[in-house]
A and B are shown apart, each in its own frame.
Chain A
Amino acid sequence: QQQVKQSPQSLIVQKGGISIINCAYENTAFDYFPWYQQFPGKGPALLIAIRPDVSEKKEGRFTISFNKSAKQFSLHIMDSQPGDSATYFCAARGTSYGKLTFGQGTILTVHP
């Protein structure tokens, strides 16, 4: 019940295309959903986050869509660029103080 399932494991997109990464959860106590971006040899960096009382949040080319009834949320990267090539992690935080549960990660490659 604490798992967050992320798909796909890897994704290849052409420059200018839309990248879509999906996550699903079961624990209804989760109430904060961040996305992290990680480049090789670096720590994850917070990209964008959403709370379940909002169905969509957009920051620049990055959008989170949240479906509370389906217990699913997704990251959309519009106009994908080669510099977006990285590993993306979704996560969820529940009632335990600050504890995040991470998805397995998606390796995104954007071809020029």
Chain B
Amino acid sequence: LAKTTQPISMDSYEGQEVNITCSHNNIATNDYITWYQQFPSQGPRFIIQGYKTKVTNEVASLFIPADRKSSTLSLPRVSLSDTAVYYCLVGSNTGKLIFGQGTTLQVKP
């Protein structure tokens, strides 16, 4: 499974757009890119998944360049409640999910 690298932590302020980039240089042809969010003492929650180009849902956008060696999760106009750990996962949809250490996002007022 492709290894991912993402920043350990990020700070932002309410109302700002936050972009979290994940590197996955060894991504395989059949791998998807998936992001999860986790609050303290809760299980991770699915945010978004994509294979290439751009995916948008009601929560976030996911930008994937043509070489797919990286991806960027974009959270528009964050609020204090977006303070959480964000995980980038890369793998096929046929098996297990492998989590890295994630990015701890701290949103300040």
Q: Do A and B bind each other?
A: no
- A-to-B contact residues, CB < 8 Å: none
- B-to-A contact residues, CB < 8 Å: none
